[in-house]
A = this chain, B = another copy of it.
C-alpha cells in the first residue's frame, strides 16, 4: 500500500479518513506548527523544510511497516474475526461464512460453496444466505473490510475501498 503525504494541520480532515482506513501516511509539518502526537506505527511526520533523502527514508520505512502489518483478516479459535488491531465477534453462522471467505481472501467464493459451508445439510431458504451476508457485511464494516458481490458468481472479501467514492455511486 502506498504512503500518502498530508500537510498538517491544514489537511487534518483528510488525515482523519486515512487514519480510519489504516492507510500509511507521512505528515508534512509546517515550520510553525507543533508536531502531531500519534501512536500508530503507520504514521510518521517530518518538519518542513525537509531534505529529500529524509522524506524518502521515512516513506520507505512506512512502506515496509505497512508490508509487515499487511493485513489479512484472521479467524481465531474463539470465533473472533481479527483485522489490523481490531476485532468483532461473529455469530455461529456468520463465523462459518467467514471461514470460507477468509480462506479465499480476495477471491470469489461461490454462493454454492458458502451455502454448503453454513448449512451442510441444505440451506433453510434461498434467501437465508443473502440475509446472513448482509449481516456479516454490516459487522465487518467496522473493521474496514467489505464483501463485494460478483453477480451470478458469488462473493468476495477484501479490504474496504478507501475514500468510499466508488461505494457512494
Which of A's residues lie within 8 Å of B, judged by CB? Answer: 34-39, 41, 44, 47, 51, 53-54, 57-58, 60-61, 64-65, 68, 76, 78-80, 89, 91-92, 107-108, 150-154, 156
Please, which residues of chain B bring their CB within 8 A of the CB of A68? 39
How many copies are assembled? 2
Please, which residues of chain B bring their CB within 8 A of the CB of A154? 78
Please, which residues of chain B bring their CB within 8 A of the CB of A36? 57
Tell me which of B41, B53, B89, B150 contacts A150 (CB under 8 A). B89
9 contacts between A and B (CB under 8 A): A34-B57, A35-B54, A39-B68, A47-B54, A78-B150, A80-B150, A80-B156, A89-B153, A92-B152
Tell me which of B47, B53, B61, B107 contacts A51 (CB under 8 A). B47
Q: Give me the 5 closest cross-chain CB pairs, A-B, nearest first.
A: A78-B108, A41-B41, A35-B57, A89-B150, A39-B65
CA distance A61 to B38 in the complex (A): 6
With A78-B153, A150-B79 given, is the CB distance from A53 to B34 under 8 Å? yes
